[in-house]
Amino acid sequence: MSVRLGVNIDHVATVRQARATRDPEPVTAALMAQNAGAHGITVHLRGDRRHIQDRDVRLLKEVLSVPLNVECAASSEMLETLIPMRPDWVTLVPETREELTTQGGLDAIFLQAHLKPIIRELRTSDIRVSLFIDPIADQVTMANRLEADAVEFNTGVYSDLPRSADPKVELERIAKASRLAGKLGLRALAGHGLNLQNVRLIAAIPEIEELNIGHSIIGRAVLVGIDTAVREMINAIAEARS
Ligand code: PXP
């Protein structure tokens, strides 16, 4: 089975917001990524709307033919905003105002009472739910108990390892958690900090179905164009499974 690539286009909106103008248009970037073979598009609708705006989500849902995944905080404001827009997936992530990007996974055990009705409401609205969690068995078990459809494993610790470090322990943690997710019938996704250099070892984990990658693809797209950047990543992922 090949691994699907979800391209996170938040950084395109970040450049647009730097001047509060219309360019570059995230919808155009998403369509170009889709054309290059992306299997899905991901955006993070943050509470402070620092990059992606509500209108981006609305337009993306209208024009994309691949699934749209919206990352967001588990809040009632996000439910009210997103449910009418009907994204295909919602990925619940921890969110704090000061962070540059998502820090660590959601603590599904600590937050279980809060998450339960939110997950139920999304699923009854025909929106599939993924939980961004650290690769820890108890978190996977809780995601299953909360009836999430998928878990996305935080690869941030693996991605942040110094080049000289042996990634074996961290990879085994992710592989073990992925096997458990597979056994429980949860789809296993992964992402955070993945790039052309470190993606192969994660893509080689058999239970991982999809990778969500943003920074490295959009960063590379500035230099070589989004079409090339997406194709390069798809090829790197495919090589890992061949
Ligand atoms: N998955 C989740 C849940 C994220 O919050 C992010 C960052 O927005 C990513 C994947 C993509 O991470 P990166 O931009 O480092 O590729």
Residue 171 CB partners (closer than 8 Å, separation 6+): 158, 201, 202, 205
Would you give the DSSP letter of residue 108? T
> Each residue's pLDDT tens digit in the chain (242 positions)?
789 999 999 999 999 999 999 999 999 999 999 999 999 999 999 999 999 999 999 999 999 999 999 999 999 999 999 999 999 999 999 987 677 777 789 999 999 999 999 999 999 999 999 999 999 999 999 999 999 999 999 999 999 999 899 999 999 999 999 999 999 999 999 999 999 999 999 999 999 999 999 999 999 999 999 999 999 999 999 999 88
Ligand 1 contacts (CB < 6 A) are 8, 10, 44, 71, 91, 93, 101-102, 132, 152, 191-194, 212-216
Residue 48 CB partners (closer than 8 Å, separation 6+): 97
Question: What pLDDT score does 242 carry?
Answer: 80
Q: Domain locations in the chain?
A: 71-241
N residues, the chain: 242
Exposure string of 82-91, with b = 16+ CB inside 10 Å and e = fewer, is bbebebbbbb
Ligand 1 atom with the smallest distance to the CA of 218 is 14
- The maximal CA–CA distance of the chain, rounded, in angstroms, is 48
Question: What pLDDT score does 145 carry?
Answer: 98
Identify the three-state secondary structure at position 185: coil
Ligand 1 atom with the smallest distance to the CA of 8 is 11
Identify the three-state secondary structure at position 227: helix
Look-up of token digits 């058999």: 206
CATH of region 71-241 = 3.20.20.70
Could you tell me the CA-to-CA distances from 196 to 1, 27, 234, 236 in Å, in that order?
20, 24, 10, 7
- From 11, 39, 44, 51, active-site residue: 44
Q: Which one-letter amino acid corresponds to residue 74?
A: A
Distance 164 CA to ligand 1 centre (A): 24
